[in-house]
Amino acid sequence: MKLKSNILFMLLMLAANNDHALAQNLVQNPGFESGVAPWVAWGGATLTQTGTEPHGGSFAVAASNRSASWQGPVQSLLGVLEPGRSYRVSAWVRVAGSTEEPVGMTMAREDDRGLQYLGLNQSTAYSDRWVQIIEIYQHTQDGVLTRLDFYFQGPAPGVDLLVDEVEIEAFPMDWQAAANQRIDDLRKRDIAVTVRGQDGQPVAGATVTLEQTKRSFPIGTTIRYSAFANEVNYRDYILQRFNWGVHENAAKWYSNERNRDQVSYANADEVLDWADAHGIEMRGHTIFWAPETWQPNWVPALNDADLALEVEDRLEDVVAHFQGRFRHWDVNNEMLHGSFFADRLGPDIRDWMFQRTRALDPDVKLFVNDFSVVAGNETDGYVSQIQDFLDRGIPVDAIGVQGHFSDVSPLSVQLRLDMLAELGLPIWITELDVVQADEFDRADALEAFMRMAFSHPSVEGIVLWGFWAGSHWKGPDAALVDEDWTINAAGQRFDTLLAEWTSHESLTTEASGIAQARVFHGDYRVIVATPGGAVIELNASVAPGQEPITVMADLGVLFGDSFEAASQ
CA distance 353 to 343: 15
Instruction: Check if the beta carbon of residue 537 is closer than 8 Å to that of residue 3.
Output: yes
CA distance 86 to 173: 8
Give residue 17's region: left, alpha or beta (phi > 0; psi -120 to 50): beta
- Catalytic sites, residue numbers: 334, 431
- Up-side HSE of residue 349: CA atoms within 13 Å toward CB? 22
Going by C-alpha positions, the residue among 157, 181, 170, 159 that lies closest to residue 77 is 170
Q: What are phi and psi of 335, to 5 degrees?
A: -70, -15
Q: Which residues contact 210 (CB under 8 A, 6 or more apart)?
A: 191, 193, 503, 504, 505, 506, 507, 517, 519, 524, 525, 526
In the chain, the amino acid numbered 472 is: H
CA distance 232 to 235: 5
CA distance 559 to 478: 54
In the chain, the amino acid numbered 501 is: W
Instruction: Check if the beta carbon of residue 472 is closer than 8 Å to that of residue 464.
Output: no
CA distance 355 to 349: 10
What is the pairing mode between strands 281-289 and 328-333? parallel
DSSP-assigned states of every residue in 485-528: S-B-HHHHHHHHHHHHTS-EEEEE--TTSEEEEEEESEEEEEEE
Per-residue burial over 69-82, b = 16 or more CB atoms within 10 Å of its CB, e = otherwise: bbbbbbbbbeeebe
